[in-house]
Amino acid sequence: MTDSFSQQVDDLSDDLTEGNIDGLPTREDFSNTRSGGKAYSDAKKLHRDYDLDVKNHYRVEAGQNSPYGNVSYRVLTNAGSGFAFCEDGINRENLQTVVSGRSVEALGKSIERNRDAAQDEMIPAKLVKCHNGDYVIDCDNGDIILKADNIKLVAKGTSDTNDGDVQIFANKNVLIDSPDIRIVGSNLRLTARKDFTISAKVTGGIVAGVLNMASSADFAASIPLSKLTQLKDALEAQ
């Protein structure tokens, strides 16, 4: 850089540090030539409001704009994987993580826990606490598999109503297979939009203080033979 250009940059730097934003370099401050354009670019880099550190295999950035907000800190690999903290309002930042392949965590190797029963005290190897908002796991082309000694689902609801729900929806089947299945509730309702079958290979029973049962025959209707055949086939299948 020429001495005059160095002095010009020093003057602009002084203006910036002293709070004179109008003193930032503009294109009109340099000659309308290719060398003037390069000089303007070099001067502008001295006043940029972002950081950029490019390495051979990764880069570190801060201050750039992004679809997720202004970047506070971002690390990117040459293959496009990385993570970023992005501003999302005053004193709030979001974390964005992108991995082109598999993400693996191995935790708790040094945690000592002697398990005797499912009621033992919880000792987390990984804890995710959401103070507000939802926790969403979305697999576009895959399954969600949970494997553990015991699996507990607890819906506590809001603190003022305690009306938490557990809902399960499936497009085809919901299968529960266990040596012992127990359903306990103040009220139990089983509704079939079409057909239902209750069968037992050995013995069965229904016990109630007052038991009401009704069939279509009670309303002067007849039961088609095909329905009885379907029930017979279902019992034989069991």
Contact 59, 69 (CB under 8 A): no
Say what the pTM is.
Answer: 0.64
Q: Is residue 194 part of a domain?
A: no
pLDDT of 47 > 80? The answer is no
Question: What is the Cα–Cα distance from 222 to 146, expressed in whole angstroms?
Answer: 47
Give the pLDDT of residue 85: 95
Q: Which two tokens stand for residue 122?
A: 């919880």
Per-residue pLDDT reduced to its tens digit, 110-120: 988 776 665 66
* 21 assigned to some structural domain: yes
For the chain, the domain total comes to 1
Q: Tens digits of per-residue pLDDT, 14-46? A: 544 444 445 566 767 778 887 776 676 666 656
What gap in Å lies between CA 120 and CA 112, rounded to an integer?
13
Does residue 201 sit within a domain?
A: no
Residue 131 lies in a domain: no
- Coil, strand or helix at 99: coil
Residue 25 located in a structural domain: yes
Percent of the chain beyond pLDDT 90?
A: 36
> For residue 155, what pLDDT is reported?
92
Cα separation, 111 vs 114, in Å, equals: 10
pLDDT above 80 for 153:
yes
Q: What is the DSSP string of 59-77?
A: EEEES---TTSSEEEEEEE
Residue-range definition of the domain harbouring residue 19? 1-48
Strand ranges, E, within 78-146: 82-87, 93-98
Instruction: Classify residue 157: in a domain, yes or no.
Output: no
Residue 198 counted as domain residue:
no
Q: Establish if 205 belongs to a structural domain.
A: no
Average pLDDT over residues 176-186: 93
Q: Give dist(CA 177, CA 155) in Å, integer.
A: 22
